[in-house]
Chains A and B, each alone.
Chain A
Amino acid sequence: MTVVVGYLPDQYGRAALAAGIEESRLRGARLVVVNATKGDAWVDKSFADEQQVSELESELSGLEVGYEVRQSVGPDLADQVLDVVRETEARLLVIGLRHRTPAGKLFLGSTAQQLLMGSPCPVLAVKPD
C-alpha cells in the first residue's frame, strides 16, 4: 500500500508533503514522493536540487513505513505523477493547490486539474497555511 505525494520545493509542495506524511502514518502506507520537471529550461526552480533532495530525505528518514523519492523528466508533469500512481497502485495521491489568477487560468493549464481528473485513486488536495 502506498501514498504518493506530488512534490515541489516550495510552500505548496511542503504542505502536500506534510499531509502525505500524516496520511502514510495513519494508513501505515509507504510514501512515494514525486518531483517532476519538463526539463525544457536550463534552470527549473520547481525541480529539487541535490541539497533540497537530501533535506527532503532527512525529513522522511524518521518514517517507519518506508519512503522513496523519485525525480523524473518528461513532457507532461501530470503524466509523470500519474505514472507513479498507477505503477505503485497507490491508495491516495496528495497534491498542493495554489491560487490562480484569472489571467493565469486563461493562459496556463492546471496540473492539479489534470491530476484530479486523471487519478485512479482518491486525491487529497491541500493548501499551505
Chain B
Amino acid sequence: MDSLSLLWDGLQAAMTPSNLVYAALGVLLGTFVGVLPGIGPAMAVALLLPVTNGMEPTQAFIMFAGIYYGGMYGGSTTSILLNTPGESASVMTAIEGNKMAKNGRAAQALATAAIGSFVAGTIGTLLVVFFAPAMAEVAVGVGAPSYFAMMLLAVVLVTSVLGSSKLRGFIGLFLGLTIGLVGLDLSTGQPRLDFGSALLAGRIDVVVVAVGIFALGEALWVAAHLRSKPLGIIPVGQPFLGREDWARSWKPWLRGTALGFPFGAVPAGGAETPTFLSYLLERRLARNSDEFGHGAIEGVAGPEAANNASAAGTFVPLLALGLPVTATATIMLAAMQGFGIQPGPQLMESEPDLVWTLLASLLIGNTLLLVLNLPLAPLWARLLQTPRPYLYSGILFFASLGAYTVNQQPFDLFLLLLFGLLGFAIRRFGVPVLPLILGVILGPLMEVKLREALALSDGSPSGLVNEVLAVLIYVVIALALLVPPLVARLRGEPDSPRREREEQMSDR
C-alpha cells in the first residue's frame, strides 16, 4: 500500500499543466518517430538530450517516457498500413495487421493495437510500481562485486542472446567499451586513449556519441539508400472496434502483457522475443487457426500488448538497479547522469519525487496516447508521404546543433561526424547498435565498480567473487553463454546468421 500512496503523490505532482504539456509533447513526438521507419525513440531521446539540459529532470523524464511509449505505439501504425515495421518491436504486428488492413479491417487493427497498448502499458506500469521498490530494497544492500556482476550480466546477455550473430554483438560491445574508455580515468585521473589531445582527455560527451550513432549514422545510411519504390499504403479512417473484436482482443491483450513484462524487466529481454512468443501463442490458441495468416485480430492484439508491456518492464531494472536493457533506456540513463542523478538501487530513496512522478506520468502518457492517437491515425499515416531529404535535413540540423551546444566546442562536431561514420559502418555490416551504446554508457560505470571491488580486496581477483550473489550471477552468465551453443550442437542445427534490416533497426 505504501507504493500506492507514493504513486498517488506522484500523480498529483505530475498533474500540473506544464508536466501534462511535456507528457503530451513526448507522446506526440514518440508516435511521430515511431511511425517513421528507421527513426526510433532512441534517436529522438538522444536528439533531445541537449535540449533537456535546461529543464527540470522530472519534466525531461516525463517527456522521455512519453516518447518511449509513443514510439512503441507509432510503430504499429506503419506495420499495419504499410507492412513495414516502424521499429523492430512491431515486426510481428505487420504479419497479421497488414493482412487485416488489406481485408478492409485497418480501422479494427489500429484500434486493437492502440487499446491493447494502453491496457498493457497501464498494467505494466502498475507492475513496475510494485516490483521496482521491492527490487531496489534488495539491491541497496548489494556490494560492488555483485553490482559489477549484474552489469556484466546485462551486457553479456544483451550482446549474446539478442540478435543472431554473437560475433557482431561482441564487436559492437567492444567498440562501445573502447569509446567509453577515452579520456581521464574516473578513478585515478590518468588520461587514457586521448592521443595526447586535451580535447579528448576531457572524455567524450555521451550526447555526441548517441547523436552520432543514432541520428547521423541513420541519416548517412538513408542517404546511401535514398530512392526506393514507394510502398502502397492502405487508406484508413477513424479506428474502432466492434463487439466481436472486443471479445476476441481482450484475452490476447492480457496474455501479451503477461509475456511482455517479464521479458522487459530481465536484462536482454527486449521486445522482439515476447512479441514473437505472443504471436506463436495466439496462433496456437486461436480456435479458428485458419484465419491466422489471413488477418486474425488476435495476432495484432497479442504482440502489440507484449511490446508495450515490455517497454514498461524495462523501467524495473532502470529505476531499481540503474541497469538499462534497451537503447532508449540506455540513453535515459545517460540523461540521468547528465542531470547529476546517480542511477542505481539508491535512486528510489534519493530521488523519490523524480521516480514517482515519472511512474505516474507513464500512466498519464499512456492515457494521452490512447486519446490522441485513435483520432489522429489518418494524420500519422500521411506523415509517411514526407520526402526523406526534408526529414533527414531536419534531423541533421538538430543533431549538429545538439552536439555543438553541449560544450560549445567545434571539436565535438568533428567527433559527431566520426561517430556518424561509425554508425553508418555498423548499419552496413549488421553490427547491432544496442551493445555498442550500452558499452559506451555502462562501461565506465562497470569500471568504477570493478575498481571499487578490487580496491577492497587489495587488488586480489578474489574480491570479485566474495559475495554469494556475485557468484550466482557469474554462473548464470556462464550458462547463458554455454547452454545455447551446446543445445544447438546436440540438436545438430547449424548456426545460420540471419540478420535483417529490421533487426538492425532495433534502436529503441
Residues of A within 8 A of B (CB): 37-45, 47, 49-51, 73-75
> Is B504 interfacial (CB-CB < 8 Å)?
no
Contact yes or no, B230 A44, CB < 8 A: yes
Output the nearest chain A residue to B35 by Cβ-Cβ distance.
Answer: A42
Residue in A37, A39, A49, A75 whose CB lies within 8 Å of B232: A49
Chain A nearest CB: distance from B502 CB in Å? 15
Consensus secondary structure, chain B interface: loop
Contact yes or no, A42 B227, CB < 8 A: no
CA distance A37 to B227 in the complex (A): 9
Residues from chain B with Cβ under 8 Å of A40 in the complex = 226-227, 387-389
Tell me the number of A-to-B contacts counted with CB atoms below 8 Å.
52
CA distance A50 to B233 in the complex (A): 11
> Is B143 interfacial (CB-CB < 8 Å)?
no
Sample 30 A-B pairs with CB under 8 A, ordered by A number: A37-B229, A39-B226, A39-B227, A39-B229, A39-B230, A40-B227, A40-B388, A40-B389, A41-B385, A41-B386, A41-B387, A41-B388, A42-B36, A42-B82, A42-B84, A42-B231, A42-B384, A42-B388, A43-B231, A43-B233, A43-B384, A43-B385, A44-B230, A47-B230, A49-B232, A51-B232, A73-B227, A73-B228, A73-B229, A74-B227
Consensus secondary structure, chain A interface: loop
Decide yes or no: A44 and B388 within 8 Å by CB, A38-B227, A39-B228 being known contacts.
Answer: no
Q: How many residues of B contact A (CB 8 A)?
A: 20
Residues from chain A with Cβ under 8 Å of B385 in the complex = 41-45
> Is B37 interfacial (CB-CB < 8 Å)?
yes
The residue among A39, A40, A47, A50 with the most chain B CB atoms within 10 A of its own CB is: A40
Output the nearest chain A residue to B222 by Cβ-Cβ distance.
Answer: A40
CA distance A121 to B300 in the complex (A): 53
Known contacts A38-B387, A40-B227, A42-B385; 10 further A-B pairs (Cβ under 8 A) = A39-B226, A41-B230, A42-B82, A42-B230, A42-B231, A42-B384, A42-B388, A43-B232, A45-B385, A75-B227
CA distance A124 to B385 in the complex (A): 30
| B58-90 to A contact mask, C-beta < 8 Å, 1/0 | 000000000000000000001000101000000
Chain B nearest CB: distance from A51 CB in Å? 8
| B378-394 to A contact mask, C-beta < 8 Å, 1/0 | 00010011111100000
Residues from chain B with Cβ under 8 Å of A37 in the complex = 229-230
Residues from chain B with Cβ under 8 Å of A42 in the complex = 36-37, 78, 82, 84, 230-231, 233, 384-385, 388
CA distance A42 to B84 in the complex (A): 9
Contact yes or no, A41 B229, CB < 8 A: no
Chain A nearest CB: distance from B2 CB in Å? 48
CA distance A51 to B232 in the complex (A): 9
